[in-house]
Amino acid sequence: MNGDDQGRNHWFDDEAGPVVRPYAMTRGRTTSAAQHRLDLIAVVVAEPDTGDPESDPTLSPEHVEIVGLCRDTPQSVAELAAELDLPIGVVRVLIGDLVHAELVHVNRPVPPAELPDESILRDVINGLRAL
């Protein structure tokens, strides 16, 4: 086995295809400007009037796939990571790129501090039962 074959076998698995490290997909970045807003249940929605993301040479195939998945149905960050079979950290960076490019937007879940207090909900339920 010569040096070229050894290098090829290190980066290629016949069953899985070529191996691409996650940091290569994110160009070595581990965060994005929008990362602080991207928890697992944040919902990613494709912008309705965007052009074809495939025609943008700055976008990776993973970027294009995220936009395509979100055009069909809004997806949570966790759903996108599962669908793409990528780590959450990588998906967050890719989504951050798409938010910056204005191809998608993120609907954040309601923070727990803004949810109604449990005692208020119990009072509402008790009031409904009394009717």
Contact 86, 25 (CB under 8 A): yes
Give pLDDT tens digits for 40-93.
Answer: 888 898 888 777 777 777 788 888 888 888 888 898 999 998 998 888 888 888
Residue 1's pLDDT is 46
C-alpha pair distances (Å), 101 with each of 3, 110, 114: 41, 25, 30
The distance from CA 65 to its chain's CA centroid, rounded to whole angstroms, is: 10
Residue 130's pLDDT is 87
Residue with tokens 């965007």: 50
Give pLDDT tens digits for 83-129.
Answer: 988 888 888 888 888 888 888 888 877 666 666 778 888 888 888 89
Give pLDDT tens digits for 7-48.
Answer: 444 555 556 555 556 665 665 565 666 555 678 888 898 888
Tokens coding 10: 């290190």
Residue 79's pLDDT is 92
- pTM of the predicted model over 0.85: no
